[in-house]
Amino acid sequence: MDISSISNENRVFIRTIFNEMRINVKEFSQDRDFVMTNPQLFVFLSNVPAALAIASDGTVDEQEIATLEKISKTIDVKSAVNYDLMEMMAIAFEPEQCITNEEFNIRIGSEILYLSRNIAKYEKNFLKAIKALLTFDFNPKREGSLTSSFSNLMDSMIENNSSQNKEEELKKMQEIKQTLGI
């Protein structure tokens, strides 16, 4: 992808969306000293639906922690974000002194777990950040789209959960999905 061919309108769109995502994760990033590059932010927000699903029953149990550990071992920024997408993300502002991809890959599981355990404090802003990210999904009904991936991730987390209050958990997931437009 030749980023010089991206129109000014699209450049403004990309910068605006990344700015909105950054504003909404700012408190979390500061609390956790977790300053991310644009590709890292993209990957992190792509996995936050797991935290939302885990926290939907109000607890984080051992089974959910084990599932998160399994998911986090497969996350790698370089393999999750292709070169064209990385170039496109370079158009948006990036803060200084971001963590390295290696540190990000090591920390992402614990950061998602922390978010799951503290979702009450961050949920509103993360829903806004995810909703902003989903504006990049120009074909949300397509299999493999961001929207369908987020929905599948949330459903998978709920299916693998042995919550005692499954009905309440499913109701909360529907509310979250509705908020996100999934």
**Average pLDDT in the 90-100 region?**
94
DSSP string, 100-133: PHHHHHHHHHHHHHHHHHTHHHHHHHHHHHHHHH
12 has pLDDT over 70: yes
Instruction: Determine contact, residues 58/119, Cβ cutoff 8 Å.
Output: no
Q: Long-range contact list for 174-181, CB < 8 A, 24+ apart?
A: 176/52, 176/56, 176/127, 177/151, 179/127, 179/131, 180/127, 180/130, 180/131, 180/134, 180/150, 181/131, 181/134, 181/140, 181/147
C-alpha closest to that of 52 among 157, 159, 164, 136: 157
175 has pLDDT over 80: yes
15 has pLDDT over 70: yes
Question: Rounded to an integer, what distance in angstroms lies between the CA atom of residue 37 and that of residue 24?
Answer: 15
pLDDT confidence band for 9 (50 / 70 / 90): very high
96 has pLDDT over 80: yes
Structural domain harbouring 31: 3-180
**Average pLDDT in the 12-35 region?**
96
pLDDT tens string 112-132: 999 999 999 999 999 999 999
Q: How many domains does the chain have?
A: 1
What's the CA angle centered on 20, arms 16 and 21, to 5 degrees? 120
Instruction: Determine contact, residues 180/172, Cβ cutoff 8 Å.
Output: no
Amino acid at site 141: K
Question: Rounded to an integer, what distance in angstroms lies between the CA atom of residue 28 and that of residue 114?
Answer: 10
Q: Which pTM was predicted? A: 0.90
Mean pLDDT of the chain: 90
Amino acid at site 140: P
Instruction: Determine contact, residues 115/28, Cβ cutoff 8 Å.
Output: yes
pLDDT confidence band for 140 (50 / 70 / 90): confident
